[in-house]
Amino acid sequence: MSARRGDALSLALAGCRRVWVGVGVFSACLNLLMLAVPLYMMQVYDRVLTTGSVDTLLALTAMVAGALVVFGVLEAIRVRVLARAGAWLDRELGSAVLSGAVAAALRAGGGVSAQGLRDLATVRGYLGGAGVLPLFDVPWAPVFLGIVFLVHPVLGWIGLAGALVLFGCAVLNDLATRSKLTEANGAAARALNAADAAVRNADAIAAMGMVPALARRWREAVAGGLDLQTSASDASGSITAVAKVVRFGLQVSMLGVGAWLVLGHEMSPGGMLAAAVIVARGLAPVEQLITAWRALVGARTAWRRLRELMARAPDEDAGTALPRPAGRLEAEKVGYLPPGLREPVLRQVSLRLDPGEVLGVVGPSGAGKTTLVRLLVGSLEPTAGHVRLDGADLGAWRHAGRGRHVGYLPQTVELFAGTVRDNIARLGEAEDEAVVQAARRAGAHEAILALREGYDTRIGEGGVPLSGGQRQRIALARAVFGDPALVVLDEPNAHLDADGEQALVETVVGIRERGATVVLVAQRAGAMGLVDKMLVLRAGAVASFGTREEVLARLRRPAMMAEPAPARRASA
């Protein structure tokens, strides 16, 4: 793990530091300009009405109008700057968050969740929206109270008492709602992840009438979070109501006591009105902060989840750039224990393949074949042992650099929204010749030309509306794109017809002739006619490894068929 990647959020915020400073300066100017209205009121009452001077009124009005124009311009700039800072933050962190989400999904063994991107949107929406503005305005409350003290100390003490009560309400609101809102946000995130999984399996859900059961489980998943959210809302609503009563009561007190002081000739009527307006303006951000507390807690919770997510994200720039590998693949006593399980699904698996060799991996369902190939391509990290490509541990390769040299056809084929060409080119930029060449090598060229728009045919998420065989061939073309040094095919003939099977055979032969290493997974040993070596897995351990002839001879022995052989180093 790279420290730079783990601190990506902090680094991004540091990049916004000048923005926050600028917004702070704008906020200072805006808060000072807000004094224009109460000062105008005070001058009108104390000077214009007492002297009857129209010239003075016009001059004061012109000055306050200019101040309001400047105020409007600065407020518009402040909002626009925050919006652009939020958008910049999203662009800066989006790829890193997606990388962390993929890494988290790989560790969990499930599909990719968009929760990390939702959390980033929450943080961006808060930091780039109006919800963050009270945090810039609250520090000016003491300045406004200080001005009221200058108008009259009694009114200043009344304002200070009201401010302390409002700040107390803010602290109480935090204590009463923080834990509840955090738990509620976590429950909502888990429910959204479950909904993502449901949408990915929409066909099965609709075909087997699982919608009512799914809806029931959804209600159960969100029920606790909704109860917590309702409880937090009730508490926050009550505290907000108290804060409003305090604020209105404070205004009444300021006017009442101010009138009493005016009657006692201790201050002017204009000063009374100005003090009431200044206190109301100075304490308004405190009340706004209480009202928007849920958004603040939501952003803080999302921020915490993002830090946890990105702390485990791989750094695409980590490690020294290594030269193109020849394809020598080694696994040394590899084991894998999935999170939450007590027993490993792979134990002490060792093998060695030289460039140009084809390995066939067979074994019953649940033997650990798919887990092994995921370890061999680097989508999972072994919990024991090492996987090496050309002598370098897979973790020592830059992720993007290693991926260029690896072709992988997973058991469950996933294509992406875009064109057929985009999917073969792995969503990157590529020459047309390279894309067509990969399709030809996978035996998919003619099938692609038969589509309505050929290579430019647009497909939806998952490959809709292509058939299973068409998806398989396009995914195979993606696997061999760029002449990778290592090609791993997990059940590549699962959806292929006879022509597709023949194309697969020709593809594997072509890969081997170009000197690349191939790992081919199948359920039955009979599908292993092309392989040089065979690995038999049973219950997560190596039952047999060697040349194809050696392993097939062992498989014919009754004792071999009855029980797995003890784990041994796979060597040839």
- Ranking 50-54, 257-261, 481-485 by mean pLDDT, the lowest is 50-54
Q: Is the pLDDT reported for residue 140 higher than 60?
A: yes
Torsion of CA 76, 78, 84, 89, to 10 degrees: -160
The percentage of the chain sitting over the pLDDT mark of 90, rounded to a whole number, equals 21
Assign 222 a pLDDT band (cuts: 50, 70, 90).
low
> For 42-72, what is each residue's pLDDT tens digit?
889 888 888 888 988 999 999 999 999 999 9
Predicted TM-score (pTM) of this structure: 0.67
Task: Give the integer Cα–Cα distance in Å for 240 and 287.
Answer: 7
Task: Give the integer Cα–Cα distance in Å for 324 and 479.
Answer: 17
| Residue 366 token pair | 């649940």
Q: Is the pLDDT reported for residue 20 higher than 90?
A: no
Task: Give the integer Cα–Cα distance in Å for 472 and 463.
Answer: 10
pLDDT on residue 318:
53
Topology at the third CATH level for domain 329-562: Rossmann fold (3.40.50)
What average pLDDT does range 2-7 have in this prediction?
Answer: 48
pLDDT on residue 283:
84
Looking at the DSSP bridge assignments, the partners of residue 517 are 486
Phi and psi of 409, rounded to 5°? Answer: -115, 100
pLDDT on residue 208:
66
- Ranking 25-29, 166-170, 554-558 by mean pLDDT, the lowest is 554-558
pLDDT on residue 30:
92
| Residue 421 token pair | 């060409």
- Do 3-311 and 329-562 agree at the fold level? no
pLDDT on residue 71:
92
> How many Cβ atoms sit within 10 Å of the Cβ of residue 293?
23
How far apart, in Å, are the Cα atoms of 54 and each of 34, 51, 57, 61, 320?
24, 9, 5, 10, 78
Q: List, as one string, the DSSP characters of 360-383.
A: EEE--TTSSHHHHHHHHHTSS--S
Q: Is the pLDDT reported for residue 128 higher than 60?
A: yes
pLDDT higher for 306 or 27? 27
462, amino acid identity: G
Q: How many CA atoms lie within 13 A of 105 on its CB side?
A: 16
pLDDT on residue 564:
45
Helix then strand count (H, E) for the chain reads: 23, 12
Looking at the DSSP bridge assignments, the partners of residue 407 are 487
Residues 380 and 106: beta-carbon distance below 8 Å? yes
What average pLDDT does range 283-307 have in this prediction?
Answer: 80
pLDDT on residue 333:
92
Q: Is the pLDDT reported for residue 438 higher than 90?
A: yes
Strands 392-393 and 458-459: unpaired
Assign 399 a pLDDT band (cuts: 50, 70, 90).
low
Diameter of the chain by CA atoms?
Answer: 117
With vertex at residue 194, the alpha carbon angle to CA 188 and CA 198, rounded to the nearest 5 degrees, is: 140
Assign 28 a pLDDT band (cuts: 50, 70, 90).
very high
Q: Is the pLDDT reported for residue 289 higher than 70?
A: yes
Residues 451 and 413: beta-carbon distance below 8 Å? no
Residues in Cβ contact with 566 at an 8 Å cutoff, skipping those fewer than 6 apart: 541
Assign 359 a pLDDT band (cuts: 50, 70, 90).
very high
Residues in Cβ contact with 59 at an 8 Å cutoff, skipping those fewer than 6 apart: none
pLDDT on residue 307:
80
What is the 3 state secondary structure string of 292-334? CHHHHHHHHHHHHHHHHHHHCCCCCCCCCCCCCCCCCEEEEEE
> For 486-536, what is each residue's pLDDT tens digit?
999 988 876 667 776 777 888 888 998 999 999 999 765 445 778 899 999
Query: Under DSSP, is residue 515 helix (H, G, I), strand (E, B) or coil?
Result: coil
> How many Cβ atoms sit within 10 Å of the Cβ of residue 50?
12
**Superfamily designation of domain 3-311:** ABC transporter type 1, transmembrane domain (1.20.1560.10)
pLDDT on residue 550:
87
Task: Give the integer Cα–Cα distance in Å for 47 and 36.
Answer: 16
> For 369-378, what is each residue's pLDDT tens digit?
989 998 998 8
pLDDT on residue 464:
65
Q: Is the pLDDT reported for residue 260 higher than 90?
A: yes
Task: Give the integer Cα–Cα distance in Å for 173 and 178.
Answer: 8
Domain assignments of the chain as residue spans, ordered by start = 3-311, 329-562
Phi and psi of 344, rounded to 5°? Answer: -70, 150
pLDDT on residue 70:
94
Q: Is the pLDDT reported for residue 148 higher than 80?
A: yes
Task: Give the integer Cα–Cα distance in Å for 387 and 174.
Answer: 49
Phi-psi map region of 329: left, alpha, beta (phi>0 left; psi -120 to 50 alpha): beta
The percentage of the chain sitting over the pLDDT mark of 70, rounded to a whole number, equals 83
pLDDT on residue 1:
39
Mean per-residue pLDDT over the chain, rounded: 81
pLDDT on residue 551:
86
pLDDT on residue 108:
59
Q: Is the pLDDT reported for residue 565 higher than 50?
A: no
- Ranking 19-33, 353-367, 417-431, 456-470 by mean pLDDT, the lowest is 456-470
Q: Is the pLDDT reported for residue 567 higher than 70?
A: no
Residues in Cβ contact with 528 at an 8 Å cutoff, skipping those fewer than 6 apart: 360, 362, 520, 522, 534, 548, 552
Q: List, as one string, the DSSP characters of 455-498.
A: GG-EE-GGGTTS-HHHHHHHHHHHHHTT--SEEEEESTTTT--H
Phi and psi of 401, rounded to 5°? Answer: -65, -45
Element spanning 206, H or E: helix 202-207
pLDDT on residue 83:
86
- Ranking 125-139, 186-200, 390-404 by mean pLDDT, the lowest is 186-200
Assign 106 a pLDDT band (cuts: 50, 70, 90).
low
